[in-house]
Amino acid sequence: MVAKKHFNHISLAMLLCMTFLAFQVTCRTLQDASMYERHEQWMTRYGKVYKDPQEREKRFRVFKENVNYIEAFNNAANKSYKLGINQFADLTNKEFIAPRNGFKGHMCSSIIRTTTFKFENVTATPSTVDWRQKGAVTPIKDQGQCGKFLIICFTNQIKLNGYLTTNLPCIVGCCWAFSAVAATEGIHALSAGKLISLSEQELVDCDTKGVDQGCEGGLMDDAFKFIIQNHGLNTEANYPYKGVDGKCNANEAAKNAATITGYEDVPANNEMALQKAVANQPVSVAIDASGSDFQFYKSGVFTGSCGTELDHGVTAVGYGVSDDGTEYWLVKNSWGTEWGEEGYIRMQRGVDSEEGLCGIAMQASYPTA
């Protein structure tokens, strides 16, 4: 008994000593081990498989860096929003922004903004709008691997009918299709009284004559043009999303579940004008979504940081004021429900710059019915 106790004391001392000597190494290893486990759990959750151990090690390091960034942000920052670990957690911000390395923007010279704005004389707008509650918004979709973004065609400043346009975005990935479809679903629900999920894949496959280039990018206005010329879009169910460029299924494309008669651009750089439009229907907006904070946005009112180099198409489906009095736009994204607030983001509204946060007021447009 005594001997055993004595032994226990020695082993405890030895353990403490070893722990002290190895303290730093041990800590690091333990930390890495738990991070490794987290990475493994994350891989399982998102169905990630890496091609070899080297790739896995590389992805682990990126994952670790991102997790550390997210946790440091959430612990330290006195911000109105939180970040979270999502499906993009093993991508560096650079990789996140440019899924297609080396892609060069194509010409966007065909873009001409419309000048009529049917909501210009709207005087009273509600203080809060949420089109989801009015049955004008379909569930969150996921554009998946069909590119997340990008790329802006850099042009000189162009003055079109009084609108000064600094850069004309050709948005790479299919986000343009999701944005245009969500706005079309919205106006169709409001005018026809029936919410129908419509086909992005039809736009990706068939809207290839103008600026729009399927997974290589497009513009919401050009998507509206296609829908008008095609006399509508088929349903999501009949022409389902595949996430890759495909051959246009002319048979399905000829069937139309909903149509629009025209589209209009919201006067640029004017959040009040955007509010008038969003008060009346869901509106397609282009934003700069390239920052790390956007990549990992989880909840709250997003206040930046971000620039105004428009690279992503989303849909403003409402606006409101948060509990702490911050005005926000309610924005529907197409990155699944794991990202943000169940797939949505609330972005600060009424900022100092006329372009709006992340340029949200620069290139807004909506279909008419």
* Residues with catalytic roles: 175, 312, 333
Q: How far apart are CA 185 and CA 367, in angstroms?
A: 10
Which residues inside 329-358 make contact with ligand NAG, applying CB under 6 A?
Answer: none
Give the pair of three-digit tokens for residue 234. Answer: 């088929």
> Which residues between 11 and 40 bind ligand NAG (CB under 6 A)?
none
How large is the greatest C-alpha to C-alpha distance in the chain, in angstroms?
A: 96
Q: Which stretch binds ligand NAG (CB under 6 A): 61-69, 115-123, 186-194, 344-352?
A: 115-123
- Type of residue found at 56: R
| Token code pair at residue 183 | 């706005």
Angle between helices 175-192 and 220-229 (to 10 degrees): 50
Take residue 71 and report the two structure tokens written for it: 């946790």
Closest CA to 302 of 311, 317, 315, 292: 292
- 197 vs 365, which CB is nearer to ligand NAG? 365
Which member of 37, 55, 120, 342 binds ligand NAG (CB under 6 A)? 120
Residue 364 to residue 70: CA distance in whole angstroms = 31
Among residues 38 and 79, whose Cβ is nearest to ligand NAG?
Answer: 79
Q: Does 9 bind ligand NAG (CB under 6 A)?
A: no
Peptide bond into 151 cis (omega under 30): yes
- Under the binding rule (CB under 6 A), the answer on residue 57 touching ligand NAG is no
Q: Considering the rule CB under 6 A, would residue 118 count as an interface residue with ligand NAG?
A: yes
Query: Judged by CB under 6 A, which stretch of 117-125, 152-160, 201-209, 278-286 contacts ligand NAG?
Result: 117-125
Q: Which of 24, 44, 121, 127 binds ligand NAG (CB under 6 A)?
A: 121
Q: How far is the CB of 273 from ligand NAG (least distance, A)?
A: 12
> What's the residue count for the chain?
369
Query: Which token pair is 159?
Result: 């003055």
Stretch that binds ligand NAG, among 114-122, 258-266, 274-282, 284-292 (CB under 6 A): 114-122
In whole angstroms, how close is the CB of 119 to ligand NAG at the nearest point? 7
What Rg, from alpha-carbon coordinates, does the chain have? Answer: 24
User: Between 121 and 127, whose beta carbon lies closer to ligand NAG?
Assistant: 121
Minimum CB separation of residue 81 from ligand NAG in Å reads: 12
78 binds ligand NAG (CB under 6 A): yes
- Residue 169 CB, shortest distance to ligand NAG, in Å, is 26
Q: Which is nearer to ligand NAG, 118 or 242 (CB)?
A: 118
Alpha helices in the chain (DSSP H): 2-21, 23-46, 53-76, 93-97, 175-192, 200-206, 220-229, 250-253, 271-278, 292-295
Binding flags for ligand NAG, 248-267, as an x/- string (CB under 6 A): --------------------
- Residue 211 near residue 253, CB atoms below 8 Å: no
Shortest Å distance, C-beta 352 to ligand NAG: 17
CA-to-CA distance for 360 and 348, rounded, in angstroms?
Answer: 10
Q: Is the peptide bond before 199 cis (omega within 30 degrees of 0)?
A: no
When the beta carbons of 57 and 120 are compared against ligand NAG, the nearer one is: 120
Q: Is 115 among the residues that bind ligand NAG (CB under 6 A)?
A: no
Torsion angle (degrees, nearest 10) of CA 253, 286, 362, 166: -90
Nearest residue (CB) to ligand NAG, 22 versus 272: 272
How many Cα atoms are found within 13 Å in the side-chain-facing hemisphere of 97?
18
What region, left, alpha or beta, does residue 231 occupy, with left being phi > 0 and alpha being psi -120 to 50 degrees? left
The count of residues interacting with ligand NAG (CB under 6 A) is 4
- Which one of 62-70, 113-121, 148-156, 268-276 is the stretch in contact with ligand NAG (CB under 6 A)? 113-121
**Of 115 and 229, CB closest to ligand NAG:** 115
Q: Which residues bind ligand NAG (CB under 6 A)?
A: 78, 118, 120-121
